Amino acid sequence: MARGRIRVKAKLRLSQLYTFACIRPELGGVQGSASEHTRLVYCNQPRMHHKKPLKYRDNSISTTKYNFFSFLPKALFEQFNRVANIYFLIAALLSVTPLSPFSPVSMLLPLAIVVGVSMAKEALEDWRRFMQDKEVNARKVCIHKGDGVFDYRPWEKIRVGDVVKVEKNDFFPADLLFLSSSYEDGICYVETMNLDGETNLKVKRSLEATSSLDDDECFKNFNGIIRCEDPNPSLYTFVGNIEYDRQVFAIDPSQILLRDSKLRNTTFVYGVVIFTGHDSKVMQNSTTSPSKRSRIEKKMDKIIFFLFAILLTISVMSSIGFAVKIKFQVPDWWYLKPDDTDAYFNPSKPLLPGLAHLVTALILYGYLIPISLYLSIEVVKFLQAVFINQDMHMYDEESGIPAQARTSNLNEELGQVDTILSDKTGTLTCNQMDFLKCSIAGTAYGVRSSEVELACAKQMAMDLEDENEDILSCPKHINITSEFELETVITSNDEKDSKRVIKGFSFEDSRLMEGNWLQEPNVDVIALFFRILAVCHTAIPELNEETGDVTYEAESPDEGAFLVAAREFGFEFCRRTQSSVFIREIYHSSGQPTEREYKILNLLDFTSKRKRMSVIVQDEDGEIILFCKGADSIIFDRLSNNGRLYLEATTRHLNEYGEAGLRTLALAYRKLDESEYTSWNNEFLKAKTSIAADREVTLERISDMMEKDLILVGATAVEDRLQKGVPQCIDKLAQAGLKIWVLTGDKMETAINIGFACSLLRQGMKQIFIAALNSDAIAQDAKQAIKEDILSQITNASQMIKLEKDPHAAFALIIDGKSLTYALEDDLKLHFLGLAVDCASVICCRVSPKQKALVTRLVKEGTGKTTLAIGDGANDVGMIQEADIGVGISGVEGMQAVMASDFSIAQFRFLERLLVVHGHWCYKRIAQMICYFFYKNIAFGLTLFYFEAFAGFSGQSMYDDWYMLSFNVVLTALPVISLGVFEQDVSSEICLQFPALYQQGPKNLFFDWFRIFGWIGNGVYASIIIFILNIIIFYDQAFRPEGQTADMAVVGATMFTCIIWVVNVQIALTICHFTWIQHLFIWGSIATWYLFLLLYGMAPPTISGNSYQILVEALAPAPIFWTTTLLVTVSCNIVYFTHISYQRCITPMDHHVIQEIKYYKKDVEDQHMWTRERSKARQKTKIGFTARVEAKMRQLKGKLNKKASILAEKPVATALGRSP
């Protein structure tokens, strides 16, 4: 174990530090009576839990929708939840009766194919979930077998009561009671990022009574009884006790190790299993995988209901017509044998035949409802998902993880997203802090640019071309170049590449490196700055015995970055004992490296309320010093009068660092008199050992007494390393018109800093903080008072936004979890949502997994628009499942988010392509495909109605059964699939260059009711033209050279040929992007019809019936057949052709303009015009670095205009002065 320390070395009692100190439960103290604790766990005796009432769940988990037994009934239920499938099931059953105008096979076969393929797709997608679950369940952990022997077993074999041994960097397989660890005093470090999103390590402590169980042999005779609460979703509470060694000890949350958190900085821990599998708290926070349906699919159901109404209407008309005919005209038609009656044909009793004919008509006109629509959509969505999975632009080379569409039901929903709700840690950031800049004694150090500065500089360089005309219009004597140099960032890539990479340290400035700081003025202040970095922390150094390097296990990433920076500056934190820290100062005044000891007297921990951390030390000279670091606003308020020497310069530097998206802390110190310290320490120790209810308040008050009269030393600026491409991705999504909310479990300060780094926040943006009152300060009716205060804050903020006159003003809403608890209550949530929607960005911090889900639900239901949630941890599962679309980041920290998601990607930056490219394409493809589907079925189905009315409502079809069976399944299936899979209005590069095109989806331009009824009207028009022209042409015209007229088989085949040509030419006019596949499918479908007609006509008359040799002998030799086909095809499509020509010429849409520019290659010949068009194709946004650059440009223009006006006034003033 190179990096791990065995127990012999782990003698440090961390509980001596205030950070880790807490009052341990007293021996024999019982928290609550036994009757309150209903769960009974026999430690080290898992067999006791095999029978009821102690038979608990096993440790396997499942996130699938189906199992072996439930698949068939549940999948069938889902399939027949679709109204069209119910109709076709009823029609298929009726087709075996004498009332059916078709053979049973023509109804049953298509239904079986549609339902079968859809169920197979569901089974395949659920199988993938099953395999991911299997991977998690197969993880190995050490379990006590008996007699002090531990062996590795899969997680799914763990049972309640098992003693498990978890090793460093492994996940906890279940919820455990912490018994002991490799540290002598039972301390362990736990990373809970999968639970609450925080990367800082949590400290857990075992019971003192069990901390001596430090070896496998100790568990040979170990036993105990745990009485505790039942399974529940609360991550931060636990109630119970353990009976061990004839004593009862209370258990609190600090002794519980939760499933999916990770053991860090500890060689091993022992624990006993309390909750397993779906009883564990992390799984209790998850919900059943919901069945999600896209908005287009829901709207499609409404269209089908509309078509049902049409179907029912014409069926009733047909039924009434049949009853009237049979009553008044059939008795005169002797050739129909009116006297030969039965139940379905009785002129004297027309009511019953009329009702029977209603059933016949409902089956006959069923082609108005496209049975293959659902199947075609399933196939198209599956193929779209394949293209998403195989998109190399969304493949992460570092991890080898591609994008994955875990369900294809929501592809088109990707193109209609209005709001993105994102986790922060692991999603936007990569959990790494880099020390980048600092300000010491009023001097700024660090020349390297942050990611935000580089991104802004790049964007500004692009935008300068568009601004040149305005800027060049300024007077030429103004030094424009110098103004721009103030706003641009210059970095040397060569220098950057030559530096060795140090994790956590990206600082570049030769003035401080390699000991050069000794040549700087204020050397003592600089050395003090480095000492504060090296001493003021709670980290533990860890020596890698193989390399000799020292690494640091810190509570937070920025603390680790400070220690790495101190080491690189020559102040290496090398050792810690239970009372001291040791610093190796390489650049000592003596000229030799020297190790200095600082005795830790007290440590005052950082909290979100205090916003600072202090450590009181005694150096080797016996001097007592307080080192303090914290938020600048807090530190500045505590400075002494003589400690403000560098305040003005430091404040200026802090503002610059904030604008660059960096996280800042101020550093200060204070020297203490021994008598003053002794007096204060007595009070502090008294408060620390108190068990009174106001212990924390008292400790904070006493800490405040010491943290005053500070002397400012400087400030740090660290960069919270964003995942690659995050600022650019957020900027592109903002340009596409998407709103972005951040929901994180991190502290408010951390969330705000990330907001600046991502450009969700920027300097000049007005921040609205919603904070709840301290309930301790309210005597009575605390909840009502807090709610009234929050409502007042929300109302005032909303009023402020409404009264804002500046059109460029931007507002950001920032709220913490406590305030959110009240804001999400029924009487406040709509007020909160109204305020949030009015703000450019929203950041919710310190939120629980449940609150994330509730906020997501509020946005989804309150706005009625499509929401997308993205996260990477188990704490994000709730919001991922609650959102319309859930996206999981498949990183290194567990797979819970991915398993609960609809789509998974390896990096946040891939969300840009997933939405702006694939979302845009899928939305338009599915929308156009569905509209076309209804068009072609209406064009075909209504001809059946026209002919039946023409033929006296006889229920007769002019088409052969096999014609109709092949229409949707064969002859028109592939072209519509090619439309849904390959259609592109613009290329992927254009989608990214013109992000505003994405707004066609959220605005639903291609699937609104106007467009839907337009396609339905087009289908009605086509059906009328097809029927009327064929009837007029063939009614009394000679069809053969001998003068014979056409029979019903010839007219039916000709009319069907016209339909095949019309609908395929229509789809050819609809498609913008042709490939050889589309040409093959469209023209191949037409050729297939002729081939089918030829082969079907060659079959014996017992099979082909009236269609025997119809193509060879009847249709092909007749010129009227070919001319009719041509005339009908042109007549039906001329209206649509005229419409699209008018639209492109007079009222073009955005993609029409871009298509024309690309067609005439104007993007190559006229780059200025192309750049101008690209700048226009950005939604006006107030977030992202584009908005930040635009704000800078406005500021710069203001400076230039002001300077120009001043210079313009000077010659006038001079002239007036010279005039007599």
Q: How confident is the model at residue 481 (pLDDT cuts 50, 70, 90)?
A: very low
Lowest model confidence (mean pLDDT) among 241-245, 658-662, 1121-1125, 1186-1190 = 1186-1190
Q: Give the strand order in the sheet containing 149-154.
A: 149-154, 140-146, 163-167, 268-275, 175-181, 256-257
- Rounded to an integer, the average pLDDT of 700-709 is 87
Kindly name the residue from 185, 214, 423, 1150 that is annotated as catalytic: 423
Q: In the prediction, which pLDDT does 1126 show?
A: 95
What band does 533 get if pLDDT is binned at 50, 70 and 90? very high
What's the pLDDT at 493?
A: 40
Q: Which CA distances in Å does 377 have to 119, 261, 310, 1086, 1120?
A: 13, 41, 23, 22, 38
The residue that leads in pLDDT, 949 or 1203, is 949
Encoded amino acid at 459, one letter: Q
Name the token pair of 881: 């499942």
Q: Which two tokens stand for residue 1154?
A: 């871009």
Give yes or no for a contact between 191 and 201, defined as CB atoms under 8 angstroms apart.
Answer: yes
Least confident of 164-178, 607-621, 909-923: 607-621
pLDDT recorded at residue 482: 38
Residue 875 pLDDT grade (very low, low, confident, very high; cuts 50, 70, 90): confident
**Rg (the chain; Cα; Å):** 38
| Residue scoring higher pLDDT (756 or 775) | 756
Structure confidence at residue 1049 (pLDDT): 87
Question: End-to-end CA distance of the chain, in Å?
Answer: 94
Percent of the chain with pLDDT over 90: 24
Q: How far apart are CA 156 and CA 276, in angstroms?
A: 9
- Distances from the Cα of 714 to the Cα of 444, 530, 1140, angstroms: 9, 10, 66
pLDDT of residue 711: 93
pLDDT of residue 119: 86
Q: What does the pLDDT read at residue 27?
A: 34
- At residue 343, the pLDDT reads 58
823-835 confidence digits (pLDDT tens): 888 888 899 999 9
List pLDDT tens digits, range 621-660: 889 999 999 888 889 989 998 989 999 999 999 888 877 7
Inform me whether the pLDDT recorded for 477 exceeds 50.
no
pLDDT of residue 1131: 94
Mean pLDDT of 608-614: 80
Summarised one tens digit per residue, pLDDT across range 83-139 is: 777 877 877 787 777 777 777 777 777 788 778 888 887 888 788 888 888 888 999
DSSP label at residue 604: E
What average pLDDT is seen over the chain? 81
Nearest to 433 by CA among 746, 819, 793: 746
- What confidence tens digit (pLDDT) does each residue in 375-419 have? 788 889 989 999 999 999 998 888 788 998 888 888 899 999 999
pLDDT at position 692: 61
**Residue 423 falls in the annotated catalytic set:** yes
Rounded to the nearest 10 degrees, how much is the dihedral formed by the CA atoms of 59, 63, 69, 72?
A: 180
Residues 799, 975: Cα–Cα separation, whole Å: 55
- Most confident region among 665-669, 732-736, 1151-1155 by mean pLDDT: 665-669
Please indicate whether residue 965 or residue 883 has the higher confidence score (pLDDT). Answer: 883
Per DSSP, the three-state class of 771 is: coil
The residue ranking higher by pLDDT, 693 or 618, is: 618
Q: How many residues does the chain have?
A: 1220
Which residue did the predictor score with more confidence, 998 or 374?
998
pLDDT score, position 928: 93
For residue 1021, is pLDDT > 90?
A: yes
Which range (63-77, 357-371, 749-763, 1114-1128) has the least confidence?
749-763
Question: Phi and psi for 543 in degrees, rounded to 5?
Answer: -90, 125
> Which carries the bigger pLDDT value, residue 1040 or residue 929?
929
CA quadruple 933, 936, 942, 944: dihedral positive or negative? negative
Q: Residue 190, exposed/middle/buried by CB under 10 A (0-12, 13-18, 19+)?
A: buried
How high is the pLDDT of residue 991?
Answer: 86
Res 1060 pLDDT > 90: yes
Evaluate whether 89 touches 77 at the Cβ level (below 8 Å): no
Residue 1218 pLDDT > 60: no
CB 157 within 8 A of CB 139: no
Q: Look at the alpha carbons of 1140, 1144, 1150, 1153 in this order and tell me if their dihedral is positive or negative.
A: positive
pLDDT of residue 1169: 67
Write out pLDDT tens, residues 541-552: 877 777 777 788
Residue 1175 has what pLDDT?
Answer: 63
Contact 272, 257 (CB under 8 A): no
Residue 479 has pLDDT above 50, yes or no: no
Q: Please, are residues 638 and 710 in contact by the beta-carbon 8 Å criterion?
A: yes
DSSP 75-100: HHHHHTTSHHHHHHHHHHHHTTSTT-
pLDDT of 1 higher than 60? no
Q: Where are the beta strands (DSSP E) in 133-286?
A: 140-146, 149-154, 163-167, 175-181, 187-191, 201-205, 224-228, 240-244, 247-251, 256-257, 262-264, 268-275
**352-361, 605-614, 631-640, range with greatest mean pLDDT:** 631-640
pLDDT: which is higher, 759 or 623: 623
- Angle, nearest 10°, between helix axes 1048-1070 and 1076-1098? 170
Inform me whether the pLDDT recorded for 1192 exceeds 60: yes
To the nearest whole percent, how much of the chain has pLDDT over 70? 83
pTM: 0.73
Residue keyed to tokens 């938020």: 631
Q: Which residue has the higher pLDDT, 798 or 1186?
A: 798
Instruction: Find the largest Cα–Cα distance for the chain.
Output: 129
> What's the confidence (pLDDT) of residue 1167?
66
pLDDT at 957 (0 to 100) = 78
